[in-house]
Structure 1
Amino acid sequence: MRMEFLWLALIVVFAVIEGATTALTTVWFIGGALAALAAALLHAELWLQITLFFAVSVVLLAALRPLVKKYLRPRTVRTNAAGNIGREAIVTEAIDNLHETGAVRLSGVEWTARSADGSPVAVGTVVRIDAIEGVKLIVTPVPVPHK
């Protein structure tokens, strides 16, 4: 068997795997197989082809993977709304998760709200914002200190 066909077959296999995963798992080996294919076409010894395959693959992996990952990593956009977690608000419409009702006023803005534990919360109650899910605040009533 001629080695050129083996390296060409490996290039195709690695390309198919890379296309199926899109996770940058085998693209480095495609470069290594290309180098080995070039060596095979120049009638290099088998040991040199294999050495080139591994050397080029490792160099590409070490040099390019961090750079490519940096540009392909999904960027999360932090909004100002996330800064409201932990703040307190006033219930302006009774919160009832079963009937999907409830609203709170936070910094002059009306928000839809739901109770974190599912219990109803009365109008006028001070609540703490535990999380934000879409456009709804997930809240917990703030305990009233006893005098």
Structure 2
Amino acid sequence: MLDWLVQNTWILWLVLVLGLAAVETLTLDLFFLMLATGALAGLVGALAGASFFIQVVLFCVVSLLMVLLVRPVALRHLKSGSAEQLSNIDRLIGEQALALEPVTGVTGTVKIGGDTWTARTSDGSSLPAGSRATVSRIDGATAVVVGTQQAESGPIIPS
């Protein structure tokens, strides 16, 4: 069995490539993708008939170069999107919110873009129901807001 494995190291590299690619799909950090590329270099070395030592050196060198040179550029490119490309929580920052009930430094409820969120003020101040606020950040499932206007006149009718 060991002799067969030594003669067919390409299978080990193929399993490593697929395993690292699978882990990358869970983490989405581009780190394991760089290691999978290094394992692919080891696979190519194995298919070319290189010794196991050369295969390991190929894996290490290609992985190191990918992590140090390609990954930072790729991450910078992915994070340099415009406001239209923002998604989920990033899109809410800077949006206007309407206080549905008084918002304090501890608790409250606001409406942001048609959705109701638990909220608190960033400086511990209090916002009355009906006042406008701006979302400064999202902390877990709580919108942290800063007041922008006094309470509106008339009743609040949430839609």
Give the TM bin, normalised by the shorter chain.
Answer: 0.5 to 0.7
Structure having the higher strand fraction is 1
Q: Which amino acid aligns with 2:125?
A: D
Once the two structures are superposed, what CA deviation does each residue of 1:21-73 show, in whole Å capped at 9, x if it has no partner?
11112011111111111111122111100000000011111111111011111
Q: Residue 138 in 1 paired to residue 147 in 2?
A: yes
Note closer, same or farther for the CA distance 1:137–1:36 as it changes in structure 2 (3 Å cut). closer
SS at match of 1:132: strand
Matches within 5 A, 1:46-61: 46-61=52-67
- 2:125 & 2:48 partners in 1: Cα distance? 71
Q: What is the TM-score with the length of structure 1 in the denominator?
A: 0.55
Among 110, 114, 117, the alignment partner of 2:125 is 117
Among 7, 10, 13, the alignment partner of 1:4 is 10
RMSD: 3.4
Q: Which amino acid aligns with 1:22?
A: L
Equivalent residues, number: 100
Q: Residue 97 in 1 paired to residue 102 in 2?
A: yes
Could you list the runs of 5+ residues in structure 1 that have no partner in the other structure? Answer: 83-95, 101-113, 121-130, 142-147
Among 9, 25, 37, the alignment partner of 1:19 is 25
Among 59, 76, 88, the alignment partner of 1:70 is 76
Question: Conserved in 2, the CA contact under 8 Å of 1:15 and 1:27?
Answer: yes
Question: Conserved in 1, the CA contact under 8 Å of 2:31 and 2:67?
Answer: no
Could you list the runs of 5+ residues in structure 2 that have no partner in the other structure? Answer: 84-93, 95-100, 104-108, 110-120, 137-144, 151-159
Question: Conserved in 2, the CA contact under 8 Å of 1:116 and 1:139?
Answer: no
Task: Determine which structure has more spread, i.e. the larger CA radius of gyration.
Answer: 1
Q: What is the TM-score with the length of structure 2 in the denominator?
A: 0.51
Q: Which amino acid aligns with 1:46?
A: F
- 2:127 & 2:63 partners in 1: Cα distance? 58
Identity of aligned residues (%): 27
- 2:72 & 2:52 partners in 1: Cα distance? 31
Among 30, 36, 55, the alignment partner of 1:30 is 36
Question: Conserved in 2, the CA contact under 8 Å of 1:117 and 1:140?
Answer: no
